[in-house]
Amino acid sequence: MAAIGIVGSAGRMGQALAAAIDEAGETRAGGADRGDDVGALAGKADALVDFSTPGALADTLDACVKAGIPLLIGTTGLSADNHAAIDAAARTIPVLQTGNTSLGVTMLAALVEQAAARLGDDWDIEIVEMHHRMKVDAPSGTAILLGEAAARGRGIDLAAHTESGRDCHTGARATGAIGFAALRGGTVAGEHSVILAGEQERITISHSAENRAIFARGAVKGAKWLIGQPAGRYTMNDLLGL
Ligand SMILES: NC(=O)C1=CN([C@@H]2O[C@H](COP(=O)(O)OP(=O)(O)OC[C@H]3O[C@@H](n4cnc5c(N)ncnc54)[C@H](OP(=O)(O)O)[C@@H]3O)[C@@H](O)[C@H]2O)C=CC1
Ligand SMILES: O=C(O)C1=N[C@H](C(=O)O)C[C@H](O)C1
Domains defined along the chain, listed by start: 3-101+212-240 (3.40.50.720), 103-208 (3.30.360.10)
Q: What would the mean pLDDT of 25-48 be, rounded to a whole number?
A: 98
Q: What would the mean pLDDT of 42-47 be, rounded to a whole number?
A: 98
Hey, whose CA ends up nearest to atom 11 of ligand 2? 190
Active-site residue, 66 included: no
Task: State the Cα angle at 50 between 45 and 53, rounded to 5°.
Answer: 140
pLDDT at 70 (0 to 100): 98
Active-site residue, 135 included: yes
- State how far the Cα of 48 lies from the Cα of 29, in Å rounded to an integer: 9
pLDDT at 185 (0 to 100): 98
pLDDT at 113 (0 to 100): 98
Residue 31 banded pLDDT, cuts 50, 70, 90: very high
Residue 106 banded pLDDT, cuts 50, 70, 90: very high
Q: What would the mean pLDDT of 168-192 be, rounded to a whole number?
A: 98
Neighbour order of strands in the sheet with 191-197: 162-164, 178-184, 124-131, 191-197, 202-208
- State how far the Cα of 79 lies from the Cα of 81, in Å rounded to an integer: 5
- % of the chain beyond a pLDDT of 90: 98
Hey, whose CA ends up nearest to atom 13 of ligand 2? 190
Q: What would the mean pLDDT of 141-152 be, rounded to a whole number?
A: 98
Write down the mean pLDDT value for the chain: 98
pLDDT at 22 (0 to 100): 98
CB atoms within 10 A of CB 202: 12
Residue 24 banded pLDDT, cuts 50, 70, 90: very high
**Residue 142 assigned as binding residue:** yes
CB atoms within 10 A of CB 122: 10
Which atom of ligand 1 is the closest one to the Cα of 54?
Answer: 43
ipTM summary value:
0.99
Residue 85 banded pLDDT, cuts 50, 70, 90: very high
pLDDT at 101 (0 to 100): 98
pLDDT at 194 (0 to 100): 98
- State how far the Cα of 86 lies from the Cα of 73, in Å rounded to an integer: 9
Amino acid identity, position 145: L
Q: What would the mean pLDDT of 220-226 be, rounded to a whole number?
A: 98
Residue 64 banded pLDDT, cuts 50, 70, 90: very high
Which atom of ligand 2 is the closest one to the Cα of 144?
Answer: 9
Ligand nearest to the CA of 17: 1
**Residue 74 assigned as binding residue:** yes
Q: How far is CA 5 from CA 2, 42, 119, 220, 232, in A?
A: 10, 7, 43, 11, 20
